[in-house]
Amino acid sequence: MKVIPAIDIKDGRCVRLFKGRFDDVTEYDADPAMLAADYARQGADWIHCVDLDGARQGVAGNLSKITQIAAELPGRVQVGGGVRDAAAIGALLEAGAGRAVVGSAAVQQPDATRSWLQEFGAERIVLALDVSREPPHKSPMLVIKGWTETSRVTLWEALDQFTAAGLRHVLCTDISRDGAMTGPAVDLYSECAGRYPGVAFQASGGVRDLADLVDLEATGVQSAIVGKALLEGRITETELQPFLQSA
């Protein structure tokens, strides 16, 4: 399993949100491009970037910063936030991103999403299928619109639909864990990897320390997105190394 370091950008600055809430922001004294360069120095194969302004406004808000980051890891940065049409995907790829991350649009525009998988290729698209597992729902339900609305689509229904269209990469976040430092949803990712062995899952949310990475590796997911734990030094560079160099 590989770790993909996460860099969330708001107003050009590196930040983290608590459970996706824009009114609960922690700012970090790190330039996003310099942080990406440091992760590249450590051996990161990929960087995960979120344009939070784009996610909120529906149009790219930090494209210049993303272009700088992509220059540090050409073709090895995946970017999400407000990706809602083919033009937005094309702009990110043209800026040097290797993959565009599609979130709410996958639920709201499933036909278009299938066409994007065909147009750009399954290796250039990541679907961010973020879920709520709150009662009374028995299955993980997809959440949309900045995690403010629960859809009527289950994670399994979406995966069935899009894997039939050639889907390869899925970033899955249990929204109750994001930024909360309460540990990842290991049971969820074990089920994902068991049900869909042909999908390269990226587990996201809750990673606190090395032990969490070890637990996630045992689930069979291909990657783990890690943000806050790296920014705050909860996982050291030495501890991180095996998860940057592993196959």
Residue 13 burial class via C-beta count within 10 angstroms: exposed 0-12, middle 13-18, buried 19 and up: middle
Its sign, for the CA torsion 219, 225, 227, 232, is positive
d(CA 107, CA 98): 22
Determine the Cα–Cα distance for residues 37 and 43; give it in Å rounded to an integer: 10
By CB atoms closer than 10 A (0-12, 13-18, 19+), residue 194 is exposed
The total number of residues shown for the chain amounts to 247
**Is 130 considered catalytic here?**
yes
Q: How far apart are CA 213 and CA 223, in angstroms?
A: 10
Q: Which residues contact 147 (CB under 8 A, 6 or more apart)?
A: 19, 20, 130, 175
* Pair 235, 6: CB distance under 8 Å: no
Q: Are 79 and 97 in contact (CB under 8 A)?
A: yes
Active-site residue identified among 51, 130, 178, 212: 130
Report the C-alpha gap between 4 and 216 in whole angstroms.
13
174 is catalytic: no
* Catalytic center residues: 8, 130
